[in-house]
Amino acid sequence: MYDGSIAGFYCCVFESVYSRQIPCDIFVSHQAPYTLLPQKLITTDSQKAARVYRSIPLKISQQALRLVEVVFLSCMKQKELALLRFLLLAYRCNAKIMQMLAHPLVAPLLAAERHIRNESHLLRGFIRFADYDGILAASITPKNFVLPLIANHFITRFSDEDFLIFDKTHHAALTYQNRKKNFISVKEIEFSPASENENYYQALWKQFYNTVAIEARDNPKCRMTQVPKRYWENMTEMKDLL
Protein backbone atom coordinates (compact mmCIF):
# COMPACT_ATOMS: atom_id res chain seq x y z
CA MET A 1 0.00 0.00 0.00
CA TYR A 2 1.23 3.50 -0.80
CA ASP A 3 -0.01 7.10 -0.77
CA GLY A 4 -1.08 7.31 -4.44
CA SER A 5 1.66 9.67 -5.60
CA ILE A 6 4.18 8.96 -8.35
CA ALA A 7 6.96 9.31 -5.75
CA GLY A 8 5.16 6.77 -3.58
CA PHE A 9 4.96 4.37 -6.51
CA TYR A 10 8.68 4.73 -7.16
CA CYS A 11 9.23 3.79 -3.52
CA CYS A 12 7.15 0.63 -4.15
CA VAL A 13 9.49 -0.19 -7.05
CA PHE A 14 12.50 0.41 -4.79
CA GLU A 15 11.05 -1.91 -2.13
CA SER A 16 10.29 -4.64 -4.66
CA VAL A 17 13.76 -4.51 -6.23
CA TYR A 18 15.74 -4.53 -2.98
CA SER A 19 13.52 -6.93 -1.04
CA ARG A 20 13.26 -9.23 -4.08
CA GLN A 21 9.50 -9.47 -3.57
CA ILE A 22 6.75 -9.00 -6.15
CA PRO A 23 3.40 -8.09 -4.57
CA CYS A 24 0.16 -9.65 -5.76
CA ASP A 25 -1.26 -6.13 -6.03
CA ILE A 26 -0.56 -2.49 -5.17
CA PHE A 27 -3.24 -0.21 -3.72
CA VAL A 28 -3.54 3.38 -2.61
CA SER A 29 -3.69 2.97 1.17
CA HIS A 30 -7.17 4.43 1.72
CA GLN A 31 -8.59 2.30 -1.12
CA ALA A 32 -7.08 -1.04 -0.10
CA PRO A 33 -9.65 -3.84 0.30
CA TYR A 34 -9.91 -6.12 3.30
CA THR A 35 -7.78 -9.20 2.82
CA LEU A 36 -6.26 -12.10 4.75
CA LEU A 37 -3.01 -11.68 2.84
CA PRO A 38 -0.14 -9.87 4.60
CA GLN A 39 0.03 -6.17 3.77
CA LYS A 40 2.94 -3.75 3.74
CA LEU A 41 2.64 0.04 3.89
CA ILE A 42 5.33 1.73 1.82
CA THR A 43 6.09 5.23 3.10
CA THR A 44 7.17 7.82 0.55
CA ASP A 45 10.88 8.58 0.76
CA SER A 46 12.05 11.32 -1.63
CA GLN A 47 15.59 9.94 -1.82
CA LYS A 48 14.43 6.43 -2.76
CA ALA A 49 11.94 7.86 -5.26
CA ALA A 50 14.68 9.99 -6.83
CA ARG A 51 16.98 6.96 -7.19
CA VAL A 52 14.30 5.01 -9.07
CA TYR A 53 13.39 8.05 -11.19
CA ARG A 54 17.03 8.57 -12.24
CA SER A 55 17.58 4.87 -12.89
CA ILE A 56 14.87 4.54 -15.55
CA PRO A 57 16.44 6.75 -18.26
CA LEU A 58 19.93 5.63 -17.18
CA LYS A 59 19.33 1.86 -17.25
CA ILE A 60 16.41 1.68 -19.70
CA SER A 61 15.60 4.81 -21.74
CA GLN A 62 14.01 8.24 -21.62
CA GLN A 63 11.13 6.81 -23.66
CA ALA A 64 10.47 4.24 -20.93
CA LEU A 65 10.35 7.00 -18.30
CA ARG A 66 7.77 8.92 -20.35
CA LEU A 67 5.71 5.75 -20.74
CA VAL A 68 5.73 5.07 -16.99
CA GLU A 69 4.80 8.62 -16.02
CA VAL A 70 1.96 8.85 -18.58
CA VAL A 71 0.48 5.42 -17.83
CA PHE A 72 0.57 6.25 -14.12
CA LEU A 73 -2.02 8.97 -14.91
CA SER A 74 -4.26 6.55 -16.80
CA CYS A 75 -7.39 4.69 -15.72
CA MET A 76 -5.78 1.32 -16.47
CA LYS A 77 -6.81 -1.32 -13.96
CA GLN A 78 -3.97 -2.45 -11.66
CA LYS A 79 -1.68 0.03 -13.39
CA GLU A 80 0.83 0.09 -10.51
CA LEU A 81 1.35 -3.67 -10.65
CA ALA A 82 1.58 -3.59 -14.45
CA LEU A 83 4.16 -0.79 -14.31
CA LEU A 84 6.17 -2.58 -11.62
CA ARG A 85 6.33 -5.80 -13.67
CA PHE A 86 7.29 -3.77 -16.75
CA LEU A 87 10.14 -2.05 -14.91
CA LEU A 88 11.48 -5.28 -13.42
CA LEU A 89 11.65 -6.74 -16.92
CA ALA A 90 13.03 -3.53 -18.41
CA TYR A 91 15.92 -3.39 -15.94
CA ARG A 92 17.00 -6.74 -17.39
CA CYS A 93 16.32 -5.98 -21.06
CA ASN A 94 17.46 -2.33 -21.07
CA ALA A 95 16.42 -0.06 -23.97
CA LYS A 96 15.31 -2.90 -26.25
CA ILE A 97 12.20 -3.34 -24.05
CA MET A 98 10.61 -0.46 -25.97
CA GLN A 99 10.87 -2.49 -29.18
CA MET A 100 9.06 -5.50 -27.69
CA LEU A 101 5.68 -4.11 -28.70
CA ALA A 102 3.77 -7.40 -28.49
CA HIS A 103 5.18 -8.53 -25.15
CA PRO A 104 2.34 -9.17 -22.66
CA LEU A 105 3.97 -6.82 -20.13
CA VAL A 106 4.50 -4.04 -22.66
CA ALA A 107 1.48 -4.07 -24.99
CA PRO A 108 -1.13 -3.17 -22.31
CA LEU A 109 0.94 -0.17 -21.23
CA LEU A 110 1.22 1.09 -24.79
CA ALA A 111 -2.55 0.72 -25.17
CA ALA A 112 -3.12 2.68 -21.94
CA GLU A 113 -0.74 5.38 -23.14
CA ARG A 114 -2.63 5.71 -26.44
CA HIS A 115 -5.95 5.93 -24.57
CA ILE A 116 -4.88 8.75 -22.26
CA ARG A 117 -3.10 10.67 -25.01
CA ASN A 118 -6.17 10.38 -27.27
CA GLU A 119 -8.41 11.64 -24.48
CA SER A 120 -6.12 14.55 -23.67
CA HIS A 121 -6.01 15.43 -27.39
CA LEU A 122 -9.83 15.47 -27.58
CA LEU A 123 -10.19 17.57 -24.44
CA ARG A 124 -7.91 20.25 -25.85
CA GLY A 125 -10.75 20.91 -28.28
CA PHE A 126 -13.81 19.97 -26.21
CA ILE A 127 -13.22 22.06 -23.06
CA ARG A 128 -15.63 25.00 -22.83
CA PHE A 129 -14.71 27.88 -20.51
CA ALA A 130 -17.17 30.29 -18.93
CA ASP A 131 -16.44 33.66 -17.33
CA TYR A 132 -17.10 33.77 -13.57
CA ASP A 133 -16.27 37.19 -12.13
CA GLY A 134 -13.26 37.63 -14.40
CA ILE A 135 -11.92 34.07 -14.05
CA LEU A 136 -12.30 31.50 -16.80
CA ALA A 137 -13.51 28.14 -15.49
CA ALA A 138 -14.47 24.80 -16.99
CA SER A 139 -15.52 21.34 -15.79
CA ILE A 140 -14.49 18.01 -17.30
CA THR A 141 -15.32 14.36 -16.57
CA PRO A 142 -12.45 12.38 -18.13
CA LYS A 143 -11.71 8.71 -17.61
CA ASN A 144 -7.98 9.41 -17.18
CA PHE A 145 -6.26 12.05 -15.06
CA VAL A 146 -5.41 14.28 -18.02
CA LEU A 147 -4.86 17.62 -16.27
CA PRO A 148 -1.02 17.36 -16.26
CA LEU A 149 -1.07 16.56 -19.99
CA ILE A 150 -3.33 19.42 -21.08
CA ALA A 151 -2.10 22.11 -18.67
CA ASN A 152 0.64 23.60 -20.85
CA HIS A 153 -1.67 23.77 -23.87
CA PHE A 154 -4.12 26.05 -22.08
CA ILE A 155 -1.39 28.03 -20.30
CA THR A 156 0.07 28.84 -23.72
CA ARG A 157 -3.33 29.82 -25.10
CA PHE A 158 -4.40 31.87 -22.08
CA SER A 159 -1.06 33.07 -20.75
CA ASP A 160 -2.51 36.44 -19.70
CA GLU A 161 -5.68 35.01 -18.13
CA ASP A 162 -6.49 33.42 -14.79
CA PHE A 163 -8.32 30.14 -15.29
CA LEU A 164 -9.42 26.92 -13.60
CA ILE A 165 -10.23 23.45 -14.97
CA PHE A 166 -12.11 21.20 -12.53
CA ASP A 167 -11.86 17.43 -13.01
CA LYS A 168 -15.05 16.03 -11.46
CA THR A 169 -13.95 12.41 -11.92
CA HIS A 170 -10.69 12.65 -9.98
CA HIS A 171 -11.71 15.48 -7.62
CA ALA A 172 -8.84 17.68 -8.74
CA ALA A 173 -8.37 21.05 -10.36
CA LEU A 174 -5.77 22.85 -12.44
CA THR A 175 -5.46 26.50 -11.44
CA TYR A 176 -3.47 29.15 -13.28
CA GLN A 177 -3.27 32.46 -11.44
CA ASN A 178 -0.68 35.23 -11.56
CA ARG A 179 1.20 33.15 -14.15
CA LYS A 180 1.59 30.24 -11.72
CA LYS A 181 0.31 26.71 -12.35
CA ASN A 182 -0.98 24.56 -9.54
CA PHE A 183 -2.80 21.23 -9.14
CA ILE A 184 -5.09 20.94 -6.13
CA SER A 185 -7.30 18.23 -4.65
CA VAL A 186 -10.91 19.35 -4.27
CA LYS A 187 -14.04 17.24 -3.92
CA GLU A 188 -16.48 19.76 -5.32
CA ILE A 189 -16.53 23.27 -6.75
CA GLU A 190 -19.72 25.28 -6.77
CA PHE A 191 -19.55 27.90 -9.49
CA SER A 192 -21.49 31.13 -9.07
CA PRO A 193 -24.39 31.68 -11.51
CA ALA A 194 -23.24 32.85 -14.93
CA SER A 195 -23.57 36.57 -15.49
CA GLU A 196 -26.01 38.06 -17.99
CA ASN A 197 -23.08 38.83 -20.28
CA GLU A 198 -21.82 35.22 -20.07
CA ASN A 199 -25.31 33.86 -20.84
CA TYR A 200 -25.44 36.16 -23.85
CA TYR A 201 -22.16 34.84 -25.25
CA GLN A 202 -23.19 31.23 -24.61
CA ALA A 203 -26.42 31.87 -26.53
CA LEU A 204 -24.37 33.39 -29.37
CA TRP A 205 -22.13 30.33 -29.49
CA LYS A 206 -25.13 27.98 -29.62
CA GLN A 207 -26.68 30.08 -32.38
CA PHE A 208 -23.44 29.98 -34.36
CA TYR A 209 -23.19 26.20 -33.94
CA ASN A 210 -26.76 25.69 -35.15
CA THR A 211 -26.40 28.17 -38.02
CA VAL A 212 -23.31 26.60 -39.59
CA ALA A 213 -24.87 23.12 -39.45
CA ILE A 214 -26.08 21.71 -42.77
CA GLU A 215 -29.45 20.09 -42.09
CA ALA A 216 -29.33 17.85 -45.18
CA ARG A 217 -26.04 16.36 -43.99
CA ASP A 218 -27.08 15.76 -40.39
CA ASN A 219 -25.49 12.47 -39.25
CA PRO A 220 -25.87 11.81 -35.49
CA LYS A 221 -23.79 8.60 -35.55
CA CYS A 222 -20.90 10.37 -37.26
CA ARG A 223 -21.12 13.24 -34.78
CA MET A 224 -20.93 10.83 -31.85
CA THR A 225 -17.86 9.24 -33.46
CA GLN A 226 -16.11 12.60 -33.73
CA VAL A 227 -17.45 13.98 -30.43
CA PRO A 228 -18.20 11.06 -28.07
CA LYS A 229 -21.39 11.56 -26.09
CA ARG A 230 -19.70 11.33 -22.69
CA TYR A 231 -18.16 14.76 -23.35
CA TRP A 232 -21.46 16.49 -24.17
CA GLU A 233 -22.49 17.33 -20.60
CA ASN A 234 -19.63 19.84 -20.37
CA MET A 235 -19.98 21.34 -23.86
CA THR A 236 -22.08 24.48 -24.17
CA GLU A 237 -23.43 23.67 -27.63
CA MET A 238 -24.25 20.01 -26.84
CA LYS A 239 -25.90 20.11 -23.40
CA ASP A 240 -29.37 20.63 -24.86
CA LEU A 241 -29.01 17.49 -27.01
CA LEU A 242 -28.70 15.11 -24.05
Q: List pLDDT tens digits, range 36-70.
A: 889 999 999 999 999 999 999 999 999 999 999 99
DSSP 137: E
pLDDT computed for residue 239 by the predictor: 86
CA distance linking residue 171 with residue 186, whole number of Å: 5
pLDDT computed for residue 132 by the predictor: 86
**Are the CB atoms for 145 and 167 separated by under 8 Å?**
yes
Does residue 236 come out as left (phi exceeding 0), alpha (psi in the -120 to 50 range) or beta? alpha
- Taking 50 as the pLDDT cut, the residues of the chain under it are none
If residue 135 lies in a helix (H) or strand (E), which one and from where to where? Answer: strand 135-140
Identify the burial level of 103 via C-beta atoms within 10 angstroms of its C-beta, where 0-12 means exposed, 13-18 middle and 19 or more buried: middle
pTM of the model: 0.91
Tell me the longest C-alpha to C-alpha distance in the chain.
66
Sign of CA dihedral 98, 79, 231, 139: negative
CA distance linking residue 122 with residue 156, whole number of Å: 17
Question: Can you spell out the DSSP letters for 175-187?
Answer: EEETTEEEEEE-S
pLDDT computed for residue 213 by the predictor: 87
pLDDT computed for residue 149 by the predictor: 97
